[in-house]
Structure formats: structure tokens, C-alpha cells
A and B are shown apart, each in its own frame.
Chain A
């Protein structure tokens, strides 16, 4: 039973446009959400996080939105750059527990020059 779902395996956008990566979760105990970016042969790199007490967190070109009632979060990248091409993982944890992360399967983002 997948508790974190990234239903689209890939996304292709034009350089300069907005990239919107979606993530859904089923476990209502999750209260902390993160996005990681991964290049081939490297470990995931932390991008941005959001606590369940917020509905938006922004860091430069990256914004994460959280809709708790829909159990849905999204990562917006604007403007998209070719260097953003990578696999993006959504992850969630219940911080009152052991803080282990539950990951989605990832989405491959390709930004076309």
C-alpha cells in the first residue's frame, strides 16, 4: 500500500515556463513533507520542506503548496531551467514518530532549452 504517490512518471516543460510536480498521500499522521531532487549516480538532495501547520513555503524559484484536506502537495518551479532536469521525490514523515521518510516513486522532469 503506497502511502505517498507520485502518479505521473515524467514531465517535460519548456525552459522559462513553470513546472508543477504533484504528490498525494494517504496517511493522515504525516505532518512534515519534503521534496528531494536526484541526479543519476548521486544521492537525493534536499530542496524544500513544509510543515502541516502551513499551506505554502517558498525558497527562491521553488514553492511547495500543501492542501491537507485533499492530502495533496505540489512543487512549483518557476522559471524552469535546463539544470532542473532530474528525478524529483516527494517524501513525508510523522515527526511525532521516528521521523522516517516515506517516499514516492519519483517523477522525471525534463526542461527543454
Chain B
């Protein structure tokens, strides 16, 4: 399809394991964002990529979280040594440029046991 694609749609893992979440943005979109939504909360910004510029990592909650975007397209969000408070829906969005509306994928629901 033409929308933002995220995988996996669901991930259940044990506390302490590492997880990797994938986002495939809309073709041609230069801006890519990661957000997370914890239960009963709004979406919380994590990280922003714009073209070849250095990413804005100001929303990452700890150094266990990292993200990369290869070739200006696909992005992966990695969480090391997962904790139960990492359980949330992780959402990826992309936009044509930073000042255009963001379009979201359906998210990855991450559950840490």
C-alpha cells in the first residue's frame, strides 16, 4: 500500500530482552518520526529524522532507546534491555517535509512480560 508500514504489529517479549521495531515511510517523504502511546495517554514524541540532518533525539526516554534511518527511507527503533514500563504502542509517522501533516502507521504494540 501507499501508507506508512510498521512491523511487527504486535511484539511480546521478556523483560531484559532487546527489541527492534521497523518503519517503512511513505515513498518520497523526507521527514520521519517515532512516537509512543502508553495506556490512557496521548502520543509522546521520541525521535525525528529529516533528510540527511542529524536526528533530533530529544524525546528518547533513556539511553536504552536508539533509532536509525538507513538510506533516508526505512527506520528501525531499538530498545535494549527492555523494562515493563516500555510497554506501549510505538507509532511511526512520515511527512513530505517537516512542515507538512504527518501520516501515521498502525503502530507496533509492545508488551514486556
Interface residues in chain A, defined as those with a beta carbon under 8 Å from any beta carbon in chain B? 4, 32, 34, 36, 41-46, 49, 89, 91, 95, 98-106
A4 to B45, CA, bound (A): 13
Contact check, A45 vs B56: say whether CB atoms are below 8 A apart.
Answer: no
Contacts of A45 in B (CB 8 A): 104
A49 to B91, CA, bound (A): 20
Given contact pairs A98-B56, A99-B98, A43 touches B41 in the complex (Cβ within 8 A)? no
Nearest B residue (CB) for A91: B43
Nearest B residue (CB) for A96: B99
Chain B nearest CB, measured from A25 CB (Å): 12
Contact check, A89 vs B104: say whether CB atoms are below 8 A apart.
Answer: no
Contact check, A46 vs B102: say whether CB atoms are below 8 A apart.
Answer: yes
A42 to B3, CA, bound (A): 12
Complex partner residue of B107 from A4, A34, A43, CB under 8 angstroms: A43
Contact check, B105 vs A43: say whether CB atoms are below 8 A apart.
Answer: yes
Nearest B residue (CB) for A51: B99
Contact check, A95 vs B102: say whether CB atoms are below 8 A apart.
Answer: no
Nearest B residue (CB) for A39: B106
Complex partner residue of A100 from B41, B45, B101, B104, CB under 8 angstroms: B45
A45 to B103, CA, bound (A): 7
Nearest A residue (CB) for B99: A95
Chain A nearest CB, measured from B11 CB (Å): 14
Contacts of B50 in A (CB 8 A): 98
Within 8 A of A (CB), among B44-86: 44-45, 48, 50, 56, 58-59
